[in-house]
């Protein structure tokens, strides 16, 4: 397909999660090449049909393994886990998409853990977390999600977060709004930090600096005060709570791009603000994020919390979960 082809010359349909004719998401592709992102079409009815009919393939793999005994391996820390299902789901997704779009690139959590270089280029790129919330998955704590984002020119074009046990499909396309199981999503719009529910994660880093920074950040927020601090154990689902208005803000230091790329566009398209914890522009490789219902709340959280040193996702030799500056 030529990059200069017109928006209507080809209308290739992509099934993100596919088995015969069952798809999670149909998108028309020419916009990536014609740069007419307004013509990027998410066929919501197909997607909802797939959800309602329970015919999503990859979530079935996750759900059928959910109640079973799992062989667990450690990655970067005693709290950074991987199972055979994480690896299997990532392989299914990448091979299905690559089969259809051999030129596309991938950033997958388990591929990077296995040594693949993490590099975001201008090329069409899929950023995949096959199971966000692997610790939950291992313990059968019922918040686990498949997170898939698609970028072009390093910009997130669409994102899908499927919370498997809850059967909740969050998705958004750039300029097209955000949805949960077909219903539009809107952030709360809350401006007053003292009325906020804030979501965060303890994360997988367990060194002294990371732990003391993480816990003192929670204390500082509680003392503002905020109404409450919550953690579901999956950054992707945590962040989607902001998009629903059920939470007013989310922040995290030390997560990876695959944890938050899809949910970042979901929050933005629901009317929220996504930025770095230092108040600068959101950079999905920085391993720092604030997502909030308003700029006022995001700025207030940025003033209150501190970040611990953490190498960037796209830094060479910054292996999955590695902490500290190289
Ligand atoms: C983890 C989850 C968790 C967060 C960790 C992530 P994974 O992702 O998002 O909520 O605290 O920092 O690594 O490993 O389950 O995909």
pLDDT along the chain (326 residues), means of 10: 30 40 42 34 42 59 91 89 93 80 91 94 93 97 94 91 91 88 93 98 91 97 97 98 98 97 98 97 97 98 95 77 42
132 is an active site residue: yes
| Residue of 75, 93, 255 to test ligand 1 pocket, by largest number of atoms within 8 Å of CB | 255
Number of residues assigned to the chain: 326
37 is an active site residue: no
Q: Which residue has the CA at smallest separation from atom 8 of ligand 1?
A: 132
**Ligand 1: distance of its center to the CA of 147 in Å?**
11
**Ligand 1: distance of its center to the CA of 235 in Å?**
6
Q: Which residue has the CA at smallest separation from atom 5 of ligand 1?
A: 203
**Residue 127 CA to its chain's centroid (Å):** 8
Which of 90, 110, 201, 259 does the annotation list as catalytic?
A: 259
**Ligand 1: distance of its center to the CA of 233 in Å?**
7
Within 8 A by CB and 6+ apart from 109, the residues are 86, 90, 128, 129, 130, 256, 258, 320
User: Phi-psi category of 141—alpha, beta or left, where left has phi over 0 and alpha has psi -120 to 50?
Assistant: beta
User: Phi-psi category of 307—alpha, beta or left, where left has phi over 0 and alpha has psi -120 to 50?
Assistant: beta
pLDDT score recorded for residue 51: 47
278 is an active site residue: no
**pTM, 2 dp:** 0.86
User: Phi-psi category of 270—alpha, beta or left, where left has phi over 0 and alpha has psi -120 to 50?
Assistant: alpha
pLDDT score recorded for residue 100: 67
- The rounded distance, in Å, linking the Cα atoms of 201 and 211 is 11
pLDDT score recorded for residue 97: 77
pLDDT score recorded for residue 230: 98
């Amino acid at each position: 397909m030529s990059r200069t082809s017109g928006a209507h010359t080809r209308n290739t349909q992509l099934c993100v999660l596919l088995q015969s004719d069952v798809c999670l998401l149909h998108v028309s592709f020419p916009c990536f090449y014609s740069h007419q992102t307004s013509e990027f079409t998410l066929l919501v009815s197909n997607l909802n049909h797939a959800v309602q009919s329970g015919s999503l393939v990859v979530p079935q793999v996750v759900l059928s393994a959910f109640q079973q005994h799992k062989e667990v391996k450690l990655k970067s820390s005693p709290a950074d886990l991987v199972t055979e299902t994480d690896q299997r789901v990532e392989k299914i997704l990448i091979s299905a998409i690559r089969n259809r779009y051999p030129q596309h690139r991938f950033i997958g959590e388990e591929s990077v853990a296995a040594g693949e270089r993490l590099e975001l280029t201008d090329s069409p790129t899929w950023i995949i977390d096959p199971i966000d919330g692997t610790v939950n998955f291992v313990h059968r704590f019922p918040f686990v999600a498949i997170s898939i984002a698609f970028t072009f020119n390093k910009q997130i074009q669409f994102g899908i977060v499927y919370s498997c046990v809850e059967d909740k499909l969050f998705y958004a396309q750039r300029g097209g709004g955000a949805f949960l199981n077909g219903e539009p999503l809107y952030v709360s719009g809350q401006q007053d930090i003292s009325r906020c529910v804030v979501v965060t994660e303890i994360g997988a880093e367990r060194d002294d600096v990371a732990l003391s920074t993480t816990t003192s950040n929670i204390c500082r927020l509680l003392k503002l005060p905020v109404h409450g601090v919550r953690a579901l154990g999956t950054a992707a689902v945590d962040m989607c709570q902001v998009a629903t208005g059920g939470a007013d803000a989310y922040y995290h230091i030390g997560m990876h791009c695959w944890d938050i790329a899809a949910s970042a566009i979901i929050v933005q398209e629901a009317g929220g603000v996504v930025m770095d914890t230092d108040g600068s522009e959101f950079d999905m490789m920085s391993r720092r994020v604030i997502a909030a219902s308003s700029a006022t709340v995001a700025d207030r959280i940025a003033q209150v919390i501190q970040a611990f040193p953490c190498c960037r996702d796209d830094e060479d030799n910054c292996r999955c979960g590695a902490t500290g500056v190289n």
